[in-house]
Amino acid sequence: MVEMQKWEAELEASKLGYMSPEAIYAYLESLPRPASEFHDNLHEDVLSAISSRNDPLIRLGLARYSTNSNLLQVLWWLQEPGLRLAILANRNRGPVMPTGEWGDTVERLTETELAALYANERIWPALLERTFTNELGLSEERSILACRLGMRNERLRHQLKENSWDDFTENMEHLRPVYAVWDMFVDKPVTPDWALVLEAAGFVEFEVRLPKDRLPDLKTEEGRADWKATSARRYEEYRAWLTAEVQRRWQAPEGEEPGPDGPYFWARAAYAEAVCRKNEAGPRSEFAQSEDQAFRCGFYRAGRVTEEWPVYDYSDRDEGEFLDSVIYNPTLYERTNCYVFGRVRGLAVRRPYREDHRVKAIDNQLARMVAKDPAKYGDEPTDAMRREEQERWERETRAAWSAPPVPTQPSEPEAPPRAASPQPDIRPLRPAEPSPATRAWGKVGMWVVIAVGLAAYYLVR
């Protein structure tokens, strides 16, 4: 019960007695969710005063926002439009159904009521788990519909924080339907209808539980010691086995569409998407480099986008499937990845498809992400990125000015320099200096002349 003294409750009830049904409905709509499921959000005196008004709009408000399970059980059986739908959509208390077997109630609900039930974030984890394992005993058609709707429940997309033992036990309960989702890849028959159900698994938190045949005997001391030493390895081996089993099992049977136009392709892609989101997979992950195009598309949808992404290589390899998948990757729209975003959008512009469907989808997705968190998402760099670019430019500029000049290498070898034209020598001519041999022969010739001259002189006398 809400914390309120007796006189305060009577005063509140008196005030509500003067209000119109529309005002009381707005009052009920503003009621907070109680801290615990064991508390009511209305004091019993206030609830009694409101209920006594006997107005259909007030009853609709009570069905939608009250947390009193006894009152909701009574309202369930009233034949008034919208009451059951409001009870199933009640997110303060969670959906309330009649006591008895859940399966009988789920089988009889209309499709609209079924959608309200499985869209409620406060749905019991045990009901979701039993829906996925079909412990409810539903017919095949109703089981497929219930699983398809339940797969989209928001509570499957996250874990709870564990700050205490109570938080740990609550999270274990919370994860029961999450485990059941990944068991469906092993247990459900390989049919187009079940493949369509599993297409939505890409949004589910990837957490698995080990089958019993992979666990040691935890009742013995040896088994508990073995589990402590080998639990991490056992989980790693099971996840590797599960990945291979999904790839093997969810191939299109002969005669059915195996590619992106068939449901089996996207069932495998959904598995890869969840794993890549959990692990923040990068370009070197097994899914990014897989031979299976479905696994690669799952990576494009949920892998961690960084500057290392070889966008053009991905586009050349998978063409339209790359663009159709990466459009839905939220990390593509982070401002720190604005340059990668520009490359992806440029590819969509250069490769138009169905009247620029991809460009419009990218722009719409960007607008949604910016509206969600304009500081984180956008197509412009962050202030830190701008500062980093400015500092890098300044460093490179200083280094360029301070470095010694680097000689440039000519592209072609230069021709040898041409010899200069001979210039006339205008200096006065001088006799050449005789060599030693010339001087020696000159002396010999001189004595020969003298000897011949003397001989002639004496002969004449």
Instruction: Report the amino acid identity of residue 124.
Output: W
Q: How far apart are CA 155 and CA 129, in angstroms?
A: 12
- State the pLDDT at residue 414: 57
Closest residue by Cα to residue 31 from 44, 19, 40 = 40
Instruction: Write out the two tokens for 186.
Output: 């092993």
Q: How far apart are CA 272 and CA 281, in angstroms?
A: 10
Q: How far apart are CA 318 and CA 297, in angstroms?
A: 9
Q: How far is CA 148 from the centre of its chain?
A: 22
Q: How far apart are CA 215 and CA 26, in angstroms?
A: 53
- Angle at CA 368, nearest 5°, toward 375 and 339? 60
- State the pLDDT at residue 449: 66
- State the pLDDT at residue 9: 81
Residues 336, 369: contact at Cβ < 8 Å? Answer: no
Q: Which helix (H) or strand (E) covers residue 396, if one does? A: helix 383-402
* pLDDT tens sequence for the chain (461 residues): 456 678 888 888 888 888 899 999 999 999 888 776 667 888 888 888 888 888 999 999 999 999 888 899 899 988 888 999 999 999 888 888 877 678 889 999 999 999 999 999 999 999 999 999 999 999 999 999 999 999 999 999 988 887 777 778 888 999 999 999 999 999 999 999 999 999 999 999 999 999 999 999 989 999 999 999 999 999 999 999 999 999 999 999 999 999 999 999 999 999 999 999 999 988 889 999 999 999 999 999 999 999 999 999 999 999 899 999 999 999 999 999 999 999 999 999 987 776 678 899 999 999 999 999 999 999 998 888 888 888 888 888 888 887 776 666 665 555 555 554 554 444 444 444 555 555 555 666 666 667 767 766 666 55
- State the pLDDT at residue 425: 45
Model pTM? 0.79
